[in-house]
Amino acid sequence: MQAGSGEVPMAATAGMIFDIQRYALHDGAGIRTLVFLKGCPLRCPWCHNPEGQEKQPQVMRYENGTEKVAGRRMRVDEVLREVEKDTVFYDESGGGVTFSGGDPLLQPGFLLALLKASKAHDLRTAVETSGYARWEDVEPLAPFVGLWLYDLKLMDDARHRKWTGVSNARIHENLRRLTTSGARVIVRIPLVPGVNDDRENLAATGRFVASLGAVGEVHLLPYHRAGMSKYERLGMPYTLGDTLEPPAEEMQRLAAILQEWGVRTKIGG
Ligand code: SF4
């Protein structure tokens, strides 16, 4: 059975999760549960969930000598059971479930099964993604996604490759197709000083988003170092150690560049 033809393949009813966080107030409207799927095709050095990049479980070694495995296989019904614990809060706040990562599109069959099950349980859904996936994997998901939180990092392809390891061509094409098909999308830009906070990149992003027409809003997410200690726990180098968090007035200045293109812009998620 092909994904998207109505039935969910049995093999896709379990997948790799590395975290489930309840009572989240970002990543979609209202009170939300965030489900983090493991695996991402990009390698952004500012990533604050580095334990989400590899597909397989990884051991995290803590300063006090304890260890924790990031990543476990869960079935769709197990995930839904966790998510449904907070239905009363979703109903009161207009919240729901957000599938994040890593990039959840790296497990398209599992994500489709999660989205279908969520819809069957009347849950509002959001998907947070880098957009780097085959359109054949994205398209079947769209009817079950209430809101796409769609990252744009760098408009210049060479710079995108340098900082993330992949081309942005597919990311842009998927975003164009989603907006054309009427999907509800918020574009998110993680603003990293010295990487993508220049006028040229922001103006190119503003021009591109304005050309899409249907994007509801752009969220500028200031760089932060919250995930830095995880790198040490995973035995990975953190290469942006000297990068400082951008001050509020700098974020305002960068937002103004996007607004020059008529793009509704908000600082924060
Ligand atoms: S796309 Fe997101 S999850 Fe993937 S490496 Fe970049 S920041 Fe991390």
Residues 64-97: pLDDT tens digits?
Answer: 999 999 999 999 999 999 999 999 999 999 999 9
**CA dihedral over 133, 84, 72, 10, signed as positive or negative:** negative
Residue nearest to atom 6 of ligand 1 (CA): 44
Q: Is 47 in the pocket of ligand 1 (CB under 6 A)?
A: yes
Across the chain, how many H-helices and E-strands are there? 9, 11
The answer to whether residue 155 is domain-embedded is: yes
Per-residue pLDDT band at 241 (split at 50, 70, 90): confident
75 part of a folded domain: yes
By alpha-carbon position, which residue is closest to atom 7 of ligand 1?
47
What is the reported pLDDT for 3?
A: 39
Q: Which of 37, 38, 40 to mutate to test the pocket of ligand 1 (most atoms within 8 A of CB)?
A: 40
Q: Is 39 a pocket residue for ligand 1 (Cβ < 6 Å)?
A: no
User: CB within 8 A of 97, min separation 6: which ones?
Assistant: 32, 33, 34, 35, 83, 90, 118, 123, 124, 125, 126
Task: Note whether 189 and 214 are within 8 A (CB).
Answer: no
What total of structural domains would you count in the chain?
A: 1
Q: How far is the CA of 103 from the centre of ligand 1 (A)?
A: 7
**Residue 231 forms part of a structural domain:** yes
149 occurs within a structural domain:
yes
Q: What is the mean pLDDT of residues 6-27?
A: 80
Spatial CA neighbour of 247 closest among 264, 222, 268: 222
Q: What is the pLDDT averaged over residues 200-226?
A: 93
What are the pLDDT digits (tens) for 114-156? 999 999 999 999 999 999 999 999 999 999 999 999 999 999 9
Ligand 1 contact via 102 beta carbon (within 6 Å): yes
Cα separation, 7 vs 267, in Å, equals 40
pLDDT band at 55 (very low <50, low <70, confident <90, very high): very high
Does a structural domain hold residue 5? Answer: no
Nearest CA to ligand 1 atom 8: 47
Please give the average per-residue pLDDT across 5-13, as a whole number: 53
Per-residue pLDDT tens digits for 25-40: 988 889 999 999 999 9
List residues bridging with 20 in a β-sheet: 35
Atom from ligand 1 closest to the CA of residue 130 = 1
CATH code where residue 182 lies: 3.20.20.70
Does residue 28 lie within any of the structural domains? yes
Question: What residues make up the domain containing 36?
Answer: 10-267
Q: Is 224 exposed, middle or buried (0-12, 13-18, 19+ CB in 10 A)?
A: middle
Does ligand 1 lie within 6 Å of residue 49's CB atom? yes
Give the number of the atom of ligand 1 that is nearest the alpha carbon of residue 46: 7
Average pLDDT, the chain: 94
pLDDT of residue 27: 85
Q: Is 53 in the pocket of ligand 1 (CB under 6 A)?
A: yes
155 lines ligand 1 (CB under 6 A): no
| Distances from the Cα of 2 to the Cα of 77, 141, 221, angstroms | 21, 13, 37
Position 92, amino acid = E
- Give residue-wise pLDDT tens across range 164-194: 999 999 999 999 999 999 999 999 999 999 9
4, part of any domain: no
| pLDDT above 90 as % of the chain | 91
Distance, CA 154 to ligand 1 centroid (Å)?
A: 13
What's the 26 CA to ligand 1 centre distance in angstroms? 17
Domain assignment present for 1: no
The Å distance, Cα 101 to ligand 1 centre, comes to: 8
